[in-house]
């Protein structure tokens, strides 16, 4: 062999030699993997490898290569591996207030919720948010868009409001979940946003919080900051312009609660022009709930590249209605799924969320073929990742993406005719064996491995009791 040929051979072999010499963080073998990758609907009977960076370096059929070394290994025993669920719409702090307004629709329920919640301190909200994030993880949700407590829009002192966002952020970081932190802008009164409170005033706390996050320890769990849109709950176009201006300046996406309750649907529909005229209607906008739409709103939202988050559990609990997901998808609107707050959906259970949503759509259309179990599972994984702008990192099990995955015990499924149907129709929290984020085991058989949940819940109970 010539010297040049020897060098070329060395270049070709060097990645394989490095792969063999550097121990992987984790190898999972003997697994039945539903990757949710584009074009790969057929499950893979094989293995996955997690590198030291917490990303997948291999997902393949068969056995791992001979000689592959790893710091940890798991024989899945034929159990199922799926991507971690992603909630595109959560209010983590609301886990402390379950069961409120049990016979109320949205507006009455909000009154019941915020009567005690507005008394909470920033430290209270740290514990409430931590509890909600850990509960999400226990249910297999490895990433969430979190609407932090809306201190500023609840007419609190502006300086104090900054502490709420900081404490919420700390809780998100401490929990181990991946998260988008959503921050409200504006300052509300009973009649809507204060006319004298414009973008210049709102810019100050937003920039201060963004600067503060830049000083915090770096973590791949922190995905982004986004704006919590308030157009639907305000009576002035100024709010929409403010959100557009600040979003453009700081390059932030926006998720706006919109067209949720039936009682105000026509008033909210009339505000759709505000989204259009301001330019807020774009690929950077996610509509939360988006139930009471019409053909014009759907068509324009699709043309603009907007997205929506579907929250079937809370929509059913609050009698808000059924979002027309097939119509949204047909219009070109990107769709993700969320479990909403644990005071409106009461349980952060993506299995129940998928079932409830699928059944509601089939009821609405009186058609069992209108949406499949595979469709709804994809919406709660890749769909939510796409909506949040993190599909390059999350949502499917593919090399290069973060190793956020679940191990599911299929024993209770009995005979499996369709794995996706079994997951959506049959599976529940009790079938969830393990939850990994970045290849780190965070939940095993329902128990957290890195947090004392009994301590967290005792703290939350004491604090809620004091508020009551």
Closest CA to 304 of 326, 279, 271: 279
Sequence-distant (6+) residues with CB within 8 A of 6 are none
Is the predicted pLDDT of residue 223 greater than 70, yes or no? yes
Is the predicted pLDDT of residue 12 greater than 60, yes or no? no
Segment 154-159 shows an average pLDDT of 46
> For 22-83+395-448, which CATH class?
mainly beta
Q: Count how many residues are written for the chain.
A: 468
Confidence of residue 150 (pLDDT cuts 50, 70, 90): confident
Sign of the four-CA dihedral 291, 133, 440, 76: negative
CATH 3.20.20.140 maps onto the chain at 85-387
Per residue in 322-376, pLDDT (tens digit) is 999 999 999 999 999 999 999 999 999 999 999 999 999 999 999 999 999 999 9
Q: Output the average pLDDT for the chain.
A: 92
426: helix, coil or strand?
coil
The percentage of residues in the chain with a pLDDT greater than 90, rounded to a whole number, is: 86
Confidence of residue 159 (pLDDT cuts 50, 70, 90): very low
Segment 298-306 shows an average pLDDT of 98
The percentage of residues in the chain with a pLDDT greater than 70, rounded to a whole number, is: 91
Per-residue confidence (pLDDT) for residue 187, from 0 to 100: 60
Per-residue confidence (pLDDT) for residue 7, from 0 to 100: 44
Give the whole-angstrom CA distance, residue 439 versus residue 73. Answer: 11
CATH 2.30.40.10 maps onto the chain at 22-83+395-448
Per-residue confidence (pLDDT) for residue 215, from 0 to 100: 96
Per residue in 417-453, pLDDT (tens digit) is 999 999 999 999 999 999 999 999 999 999 999 999 9
Is the predicted pLDDT of residue 309 greater than 80, yes or no? yes
Mark residue 404 as left, alpha or beta (left: phi above 0; alpha: psi -120 to 50; beta: remaining). beta
443 forms beta bridges with 435, 448
- In the chain, the N- to C-terminal Cα span, in Å, equals 82
Per-residue confidence (pLDDT) for residue 153, from 0 to 100: 52
Neighbours of 29 (CB within 10 A): 18
Per residue in 75-91, pLDDT (tens digit) is 999 999 999 999 999 99
Is the predicted pLDDT of residue 11 greater than 60, yes or no? no
Is the predicted pLDDT of residue 5 greater than 90, yes or no? no
Instruction: Give the architecture-level CATH label for domain 85-387.
Output: Alpha-Beta Barrel (3.20)
Confidence of residue 149 (pLDDT cuts 50, 70, 90): very high
Strands 178-184 and 222-229: parallel
How remote is the C-alpha of 168 from its chain's centroid?
A: 16
Per residue in 127-137, pLDDT (tens digit) is 999 999 999 99
Per-residue confidence (pLDDT) for residue 155, from 0 to 100: 44
Give the whole-angstrom CA distance, residue 142 versus residue 139. Answer: 9
Per-residue confidence (pLDDT) for residue 193, from 0 to 100: 43
Segment 11-40 shows an average pLDDT of 79
Per residue in 377-422, pLDDT (tens digit) is 999 999 999 999 999 999 999 999 999 999 999 999 988 899 999 9
* pTM of structure: 0.93
Confidence of residue 20 (pLDDT cuts 50, 70, 90): low
Per-residue confidence (pLDDT) for residue 158, from 0 to 100: 47
Is the predicted pLDDT of residue 457 greater than 90, yes or no? yes
Segment 118-124 shows an average pLDDT of 94
| DSSP-derived secondary structure for 208-230 | HHHHHHHTSPP-TTEEEEEEEE-
């Amino acid at each position: 062999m010539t010297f040049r040929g020897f060098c070329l051979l060395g270049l070709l072999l060097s990645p394989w030699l490095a792969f063999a010499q550097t121990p992987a963080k984790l190898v999972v073998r003997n697994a039945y993997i539903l990757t949710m990758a584009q074009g790969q609907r057929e499950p893979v009977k094989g293995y996955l490898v997690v590198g030291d960076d917490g990303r997948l370096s291999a997902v393949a059929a068969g056995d791992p290569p001979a000689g592959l070394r790893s710091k940890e290994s798991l024989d899945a025993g034929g159990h199922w591996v799926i991507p971690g669920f992603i909630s595109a719409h959560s209010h983590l702090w609301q886990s402390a207030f379950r069961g409120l307004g049990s016979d109320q629709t949205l507006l009455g329920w909000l009154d019941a919720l915020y009567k005690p919640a507005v008394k909470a301190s920033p430290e209270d909200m740290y514990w409430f948010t931590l509890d909600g994030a850990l509960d999400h993880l226990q249910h297999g949700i490895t990433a969430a868009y979190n609407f932090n407590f809306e201190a500023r829009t609840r007419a609190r002192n502006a300086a104090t409001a900054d502490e709420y966002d900081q404490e919420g952020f700390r809780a998100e970081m401490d929990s181990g979940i991946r998260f988008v932190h959503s921050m409200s802008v504006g300052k509300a009164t009973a009649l809507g946003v204060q006319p004298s409170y414009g973008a210049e005033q709102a810019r100050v706390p937003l920039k201060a919080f963004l600067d503060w996050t830049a000083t915090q320890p770096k973590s791949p769990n922190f995905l982004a900051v986004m704006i919590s849109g308030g157009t639907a709950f305000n009576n002035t176009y100024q709010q929409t312009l403010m959100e557009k201006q600040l979003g453009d300046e700081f390059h932030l996406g926006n998720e706006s609660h919109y067209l949720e309750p039936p009682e105000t649907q026509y008033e909210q529909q009339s505000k759709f022009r505000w989204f259009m005229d301001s330019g807020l209607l774009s690929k950077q906008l996610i509509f939360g709930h988006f139930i009471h739409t019409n053909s014009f709103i759907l068509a324009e939202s699709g043309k603009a590249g907007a997205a929506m988050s579907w929250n079937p559990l809370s929509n059913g609990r609050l009698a808000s209605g059924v979002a027309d997901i097939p119509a949204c998808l047909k219009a070109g609107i990107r769709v993700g799924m969320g479990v909403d707050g644990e005071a409106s959906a009461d349980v952060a259970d993506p299995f129940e969320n998928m079932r409830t949503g699928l059944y509601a759509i089939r009821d609405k259309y009186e058609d069992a073929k209108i949406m499949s179990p595979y469709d709804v599972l994809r919406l709660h994984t890749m769909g939510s990742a796409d909506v949040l702008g993190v599909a390059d990192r999350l949502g499917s099990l593919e090399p290069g993406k973060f190793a956020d995955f679940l191990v599911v015990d299929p024993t209770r499924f009995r005979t499996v005719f369709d794995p996706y149907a079994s997951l959506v129709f049959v599976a529940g929290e009790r079938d969830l064996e393990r939850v990994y984020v970045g290849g780190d085991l965070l939940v095993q058989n329902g128990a957290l491995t890195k947090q004392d949940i009994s301590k967290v819940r005792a703290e939350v109970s004491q604090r809620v009791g004091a508020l009551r």
